[in-house]
Amino acid sequence: EIVLTQSPDILSLSPGERATLSCRASQSLSSSYLAWYQQNPGQAPRLLIYGTSNRATGIPDRFSGSGSGTDFTLTISRLEPEDFAVFYCQQYSSSPRTFGQGTKLEIK
Partner 1 sequence: QVQLVQSGAEMKKPGASVKVSCKASGYTFTGYYMQWVRQAPGQGLEWMGWINTSDGGTNYAQKFQGRVTMTRDTSISTAYMELSSLRSDDTAVYYCTRDLRENWVTTFEYWGQGSLVTVSS
Four-point Cα dihedral 15, 108, 106, 52, nearest 10: 50
- Contact stretch for partner 1 (CB under 8 A) within 12-20, 63-71, 72-80, 91-99: 91-99
Per CB under 8 A, 56 contacts partner 1: yes
Per CB under 8 A, 90 contacts partner 1: yes
What is the distance of C-alpha 79 from the center of its chain?
Answer: 14
Contacts of residues 82-86 at CB distance under 8 Å and 24 or more positions apart, as own/partner, are: 83/19, 83/38, 85/38, 85/39, 85/40, 86/38, 86/39, 86/40
Per CB under 8 A, 22 contacts partner 1: no
Per CB under 8 A, 59 contacts partner 1: no
Q: In degrees rounded to 5, what are phi and psi of residue 30?
A: -75, 140
Task: Quote the CA–CA distance of 84 and 66 in Å, as a whole number.
Answer: 20
Per CB under 8 A, 78 contacts partner 1: no
> Smaller CB distance to partner 1: residue 14 or 57?
57
> Smaller CB distance to partner 1: residue 30 or 77?
30
Per CB under 8 A, 44 contacts partner 1: yes
Where along the sequence are the contacts to partner 1 (CB under 8 A)?
Answer: 33, 35, 37, 44-47, 50, 56-57, 88, 90, 92, 95-102
